[in-house]
């Protein structure tokens, strides 16, 4: 795909806009999802930005930079990392590990699993990449949704727990303690991949670039001397909730309004509480995290979605230079 030269445009970066009313227990609940709109205001003559986009990593990825080379570098790196980490690619290391239960892996795969285990510890198990069998059971993997029976959930819970992943760092080997365990890096891989791409850009001396992978964003350097401007929008209203001026920062959002199904008037979304085996219901609609790197932003956003506002905000205090915005469900009587 070719780079497009752009001079002035307005982009809906993560195109979800939702305001829905539905009943949960006896309450009427109103949800307002947030979405990003990014404004690139390049004023005059010499300020040229190139933009390229592709559907990859299961989402729409857009690269914007004054350097023509940036998009090619980013998409090549995304392909390299996705080929290792996607559970949907039968030849990936993650797919092979999930089938065989033991594998000698590349440094990338070892690193991301190690980081995921660190988040598992930090979140008391709320962040857990062993949710793979739950994703399968509930039909999220194949997008053939299914409401499981209690019994099935109980059985599947035996396969959950990142303590069941053994890392042999000396030999680059990952091993599962129990047959049937499957890892799913959906909550952390996009962030890690963006960080890898940023590293490649820096190696090529590219100092300005904005990568947006379906709302997981990294702002490298600035936009012709000014920080990148990202507007966080409340689709419930017409106004933006916030304008963020970001430079060398990542931003990620987790919510339950993008991937879900509805059964008997109840909504079931794709982020799980690994303790219960059910989709997380912590009273959170959406979590937006700003962090120095995209892996941290991505993993923390999912973690806080599971933990809820109070515990989530306490967790964030352990991370330097991280900010969080949590939007909770509004109960209406």
Q: Binding residues for ligand ADP, per CB under 6 A?
A: 127-129, 131, 135, 184, 186-187, 254, 258, 270-272, 274, 298, 301-302, 306
- CA pseudo-torsion sign 274, 278, 282, 288: positive
Structural element, H or E, at residue 254:
strand 249-255
**CB closer to ligand ADP out of 35 and 301:** 301
- State the nearest-atom distance from the C-beta of 2 to Mg ion, in Å: 31
- State the nearest-atom distance from the C-beta of 285 to Mg ion, in Å: 15
Whole-number Å distance between alpha carbons of 206 and 69: 8
Whole-number Å distance between alpha carbons of 238 and 244: 17
Burial of 161 (0-12, 13-18, 19+ CB in 10 A): middle
**CB closer to ligand ADP out of 3 and 14:** 14
**CB closer to ligand ADP out of 159 and 206:** 159
**CB closer to Mg ion out of 62 and 298:** 298
Separate counts of helices (H) and strands (E) for the chain: 8, 20
- State the nearest-atom distance from the C-beta of 300 to ligand ADP, in Å: 10
Neighbours of 231 (CB within 10 A): 17
- Residue 187 sits in the site that holds Mg ion (CB under 5 A): yes
Report the length, in residues, of the chain: 333
Number of residues that bind Mg ion (CB under 5 A): 4
- State the nearest-atom distance from the C-beta of 4 to ligand ADP, in Å: 25
What tokens does 197 get? 């791409």
**CB closer to Mg ion out of 212 and 302:** 302
- State the nearest-atom distance from the C-beta of 85 to ligand ADP, in Å: 12
Residue nearest to ligand ADP (CB): 186
129 binds, among Mg ion, ligand ADP, none (CB under 5 to 8 A by kind): ligand ADP
* 239-298 binders of Mg ion (CB under 5 A): 298
- State the nearest-atom distance from the C-beta of 270 to ligand ADP, in Å: 4
Do 243 and 231 touch, CB atoms closer than 8 A?
yes
* 298-317 binders of Mg ion (CB under 5 A): 298, 301-302
What tokens does 254 get? 């987790």
**CB closer to Mg ion out of 92 and 302:** 302
DSSP one-letter string for 261-285:
EEETTEEEES-B-TTTSSB--SSEE
Do 212 and 56 touch, CB atoms closer than 8 A?
no
Give contact residues for Mg ion (rule: CB under 5 A): 187, 298, 301-302
């Amino acid at each position: 795909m070719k780079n497009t030269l752009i001079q002035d445009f307005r982009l809906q970066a993560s195109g979800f806009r939702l305001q829905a009313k539905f009943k949960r227990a006896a309450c009427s609940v109103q949800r307002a999802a947030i979405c990003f709109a990014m404004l690139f205001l390049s004023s005059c003559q010499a300020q040229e930005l190139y933009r390229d986009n592709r559907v990859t990593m299961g989402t729409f990825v857009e690269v914007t930079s004054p350097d023509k080379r940036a998009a090619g570098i980013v998409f090549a790196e995304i392909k390299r990392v996705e080929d290792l980490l996607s559970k949907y690619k039968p030849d990936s290391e993650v797919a092979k590990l999930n089938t065989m239960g033991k594998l000698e892996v590349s440094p990338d795969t070892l690193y991301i699993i190690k980081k995921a285990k660190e988040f598992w510890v930090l979140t008391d198990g709320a962040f857990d990449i062993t949710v793979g069998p739950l994703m399968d059971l509930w039909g999220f993997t194949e997008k053939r949704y299914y409401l499981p029976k209690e019994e099935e959930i109980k059985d599947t819970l035996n396969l959950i727990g990142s303590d069941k992943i053994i890392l042999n760092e000396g030999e680059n080997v990952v091993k599962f303690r129990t047959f049937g365990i499957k890892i799913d890096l959906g909550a952390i891989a996009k962030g890690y991949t963006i960080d890898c791409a940023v590293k490649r850009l820096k190696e090529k001396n590219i100092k300005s670039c904005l990568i947006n992978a379906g709302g997981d964003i990294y702002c490298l350097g600035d936009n012709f001397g000014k920080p990148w401007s990202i507007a966080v929008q409340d689709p419930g209203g017409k106004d933006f909730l916030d304008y963020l001026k970001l430079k060398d920062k990542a931003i990620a959002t987790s919510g339950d309004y993008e991937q879900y199904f509805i059964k008997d008037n109840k909504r079931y979304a794709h982020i799980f509480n690994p303790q219960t085996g059910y989709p997380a219901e912590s009273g959170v609609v959406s979590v937006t995290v700003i962090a120095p790197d995209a892996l941290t932003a991505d993993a923390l956003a999912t973690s806080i979605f599971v933990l809820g506002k109070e515990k989530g905000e306490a967790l964030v205090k352990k991370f330097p230079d991280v900010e969080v915005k949590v939007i909770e469900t509004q109960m209406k009587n």
